[in-house]
A and B are shown apart, each in its own frame.
Chain A
Amino acid sequence: MEEVKGYVGNFDIKIKKKAKYVDWDKCIGCGVCTEICPVKVPNEYNYGLNQRRAAYIEYPQAVPKKAVIDEPNCLYFKTFKKTGKPACQICEKGIPAKNIQGCPADAIKFDDRDEFVDIKVGAVIIATGFKPMSKTHFKEYSPQSPDVITSMEFERILSATGPTGGELKRPSDGTKPKTIAMISCVGSRDERYHSYCSKVCCMYMLKHARILKEKYPYINLYLFFIDVRTAGKDFEEFYVYTKGLGAKIIRGGRVSSVDEKPNGKLRVRGFDVDLGSPVELEADLVVLATAIEPPDGVDDIGRLFSATCGREGFLREVHTKLYPVETAARGVLIAGCVQGPKDIPESIAQSRAAASSAASLIIPGKIKFEAIVSEVDREKCSSCGVCVPLCPYSAIKIETYKDKEKAKIEPALCAGCGVCASACPSRAITFHGFTTEQVIEQISALVEA
C-alpha cells in the first residue's frame, strides 16, 4: 500500500507489487528452482528452524503456489551489483555439465521490476493479522538456549510440513524430548510488556498437549498456567479431556526461571498454588506461549487510512460492543487480530461482519451521513490554515475560491469532533448542532433551571 486518497465510497489506492523475478503467468509451481538454487538462508516461515533457498515458494500450501526470488540474497543480484556480471543463473539455465535442468517453464525473469497498480474501491477491510512475541525479551527464561522455543516454533515442529517433517525433536541435538514444560502468559498479563490477555494461548497449549499425548503417551507434559482460561464453546470440555489424557496442570504457577543445566537439560522453577508449594522440574524442552502482538507496520497502515490505534497498538474499533468492525475512518473496516487477540471462530465471525458491513455501505450507491459536521463560511475564512493540521481525519483542504485560498471541509470525512470550529480565529467555521448561539442558549436554560 503506497498511497490512499479519497473517502468512503471513493478510495483511490496505489498498491506496490514487489518484483518477484519469476513470471507468475508462466510459473507452474513445480519447485525445481527451489531445489537447485545454491544459496541457503534461514526460513522465515519456520522461524529460522531450518533453511530455504534464495529461490523459494513461501510454504507448501501457498496460494497461488508460485516461486519468487529473494533479491537481497540471490547470487545473481549480489554479483551483478558488485562486478556488473552475474555469477549464477542456475535457476534459469540449470547446470548443463551435471545434466541438471533449469526452470522447465522458462519463467525466471531477472529483469522484473516493481509494479504499481491503481485501484478504486468503495470500502477497505484491514486484516493484517498479528505477530507472535519473540522469546528474546525474557532473560529469565534462558532465550539463548535452542531448547527454549515459542509456541509458534513448536507448532512448526509438530507440523507435517515443518522443519523436522513432523517428527518431535529437540532443536539442540535432535533427540526426542521426554519431559516438556509449557509456560503460559509469557508477555501477556504483564505490565512490562502487554497488560492484555492474549486469549488463545491457554487453548493452543491444551491443543499441543492433546496432540502430544495422543501421539506420544509416554511423554511427561507439564503445563504452567496462572489460571486456565477456557471460555468458549466446547473449550472447557477440551480442557477436561486433555487432563484425562494425562497432561499435568500446574496452576498459579507463573514460572520464575528457566536455567540451562550442565547436562543439557533445563531447570524450570514455578509455584503450584494447589499444592501450596514451590515446584521444580527438569525438562528437555520448554515451550513459551508468547503474547500476540500487533503486526509490524500496523500504525503506518492506520495512518494511511486515518484509522486510529489503541494504547496497545492494535487498530481501534469505534465501539467495542456496538461497532466492533468499524474504525474512526468511515468505510475502513477491521477484522481479525489486527483489532486485538482473538481465536479462529471469532476472526471468522468478525471478518464476515466486516464483509457485510462493507457490502451494506457500498451496494446502495448512496451513503447517509450524520448532520453533526463542521462547515466553513468561505466569506469569513482568512486563509490562515490553522484548522488543516488540527483535523484528526484529514478532512480539511485549502482550495481556491474566488481567486483566494480558502479552507474547505469534506463532509464525508468530517467526524464532527469540533476541533476546527473551536480553533478558528476568524470564527468562520460553524459546527452544526453546536453553534455558539446554541451552546449559549443551553447554558442559559441550565442557569434558569
Chain B
Amino acid sequence: MEESSVNVINLNQCDEEFIKELEKFGAEELKECIQCGKCASTCPMALAGLDFYIKRIIHAATLGLKDVLLEDSSVWGCQSCNRCVEICPMDVKPYEVIQAVRRAAVRVESCPANTYEGLRNLYKNGHAVFPKGFEERRKKVGLPEKPPTLVSHEELRKKFQEVLKQTSLADVAPFKLD
C-alpha cells in the first residue's frame, strides 16, 4: 500500500475484515450510526477535551480504519459510564463499540502497559485495581487485613481462576495462567 502523507488519511486502508471483527466483538449495530453526535455531546471524556472522542471513534470503526484506531489510546480513556448507550438514537451502543475496539486491540497487543497490570491483578486477586500496601491502612482503621472477597478465600480464588481460564483471557493474556 502506498504511504499517505502525514495529515491525510488514506481511505484505501479501510479494512472490511476489521469491521467484521468489531461486529463479532459486540459492535453489532455499528453500521447504523448516522454520526448525529449525540454521544459526543454527553461523553465525559469528550467534555474533558479528548481529541479522538466517541463520535470519531465510531466513524473510524465504520470505515474500518484499523491503524487509526489502534495507534490511538483514546478508547482506553472511556470511563464506562454508559451515558452514550442510554441516549444513542440509533441504538448503536457506542460503549459496546469501545469495548469491541479494546477487544481487538488486546489481541494485537496494542494497548497501554497498565492494561496488562489490571489483567494480571484480576487473574491473581479477583480485582482489576489492587493497590499495594493496603493491609496496613486497613488495620489502622480497624478492618481485617484482607477484604472479604476472593483474596480472602483461597478456594474460591482457585475456582475463579478456573473460570477465567475458560474465557478468551486464555488467548490474550501476556502472562501464564497458572
Is this pair of chains taken from one and the same complex? yes
Chain-B contact segment, one of A116-124, A238-246, A356-364? A238-246
**Cross-chain contact of B14 among A248, A251, A274 (Cβ < 8 A):** A248
Q: How far is the CA of A248 from the CA of B65 in the complex (A)?
A: 11
| Minimum distance in angstroms from A262 CB to a CB of chain B | 12
Chain B CB within 8 A of A365 CB: no
Cross-chain contact B59 with A279 (CB below 8 angstroms) = no
Using Cβ atoms and an 8 Å threshold, which residues of chain B touch A279? 8-11
Quick check: is B171 within 8 A (CB to CB) of the other chain?
no
Verify if A281 is at the interface (C-beta below 8 Å from B): yes
Contact between B60 and A281 (Cβ–Cβ < 8 Å)?
Answer: no
- Asked if B107 is at the interface of the complex by the 8 Å CB criterion, the answer is no
Q: What distance in Å separates the Cβ of A232 from its nearest Cβ neighbour in chain B?
A: 16
Q: Kindly list chain B residues whose C-beta atoms are within 8 Å of the C-beta of A244.
A: 31-32
Are A277 and B55 closer than 8 Å at their CB atoms?
no
| B2 contacts the other chain (CB 8 A) | yes
The answer to whether B10 touches A281, judged by C-beta atoms less than 8 angstroms apart, is yes
Residues of chain B lying within 8 A (CB to CB) of residue A240: 32, 34, 90
Give the B interface residue count (CB, 8 A).
25
- Where chain A touches its partner, the secondary structure class is strand
Cβ-based interface call for A164 (8 A)? no
For the complex, what is the distance from the CA of A179 to the CA of B14, rounded to whole Å? 11
Chain A positions within 8 Å of B14 at CB level: 220, 248
Q: Are A282 and B56 in contact (CB under 8 A)?
A: no
B136 within 8 A of partner (CB): no
How many A-B contacts are there with CB distance less than 8 Å? 63
Least Cβ–Cβ distance between A423 and chain B, in angstroms: 58
Q: How far is the CA of A286 from the CA of B66 in the complex (A)?
A: 25
Say yes or no for B4: interface residue by CB 8 A criterion. Answer: yes
A281:B12 contact, CB within 8 angstroms:
yes
**Which one, B8, B10, B31, contacts A246 given CB within 8 A?**
B31
Contact with B along A234-277 (1 / 0, CB 8 A): 00000110011010111100000000000000000100101111
Q: How far is the CA of A220 from the CA of B62 in the complex (A)?
A: 13
Per-position 1/0 for B4-45, Cβ under 8 A of A: 100111111010100100000000000111110000000000
Known: A244-B31, A281-B11. A275 touches B16 (CB 8 A): no
> B32 to A272, Cβ gap below 8 A?
no
B122 within 8 A of A: no
Contact at B2–A282, with CB atoms within 8 Å? yes
A246 to B7, CA, bound (A): 25
CB of A275 within 8 A of CB of B10, answer no
Which of B11, B14, B60 counts the most A-chain CB atoms under 10 A from its CB? B11
Instruction: Tell me the nearest residue of chain A to B31, going by C-beta.
Output: A244
Given contacts A248-B63, A249-B35, A277-B7, 10 further A-B contacts (CB under 8 A): A220-B16, A243-B33, A243-B62, A249-B62, A274-B35, A274-B59, A275-B59, A276-B56, A280-B4, A281-B12
Which 7 interchain pairs have the tightest Cβ spacing? Answer: A274-B59, A281-B11, A244-B31, A280-B8, A278-B8, A279-B9, A274-B35
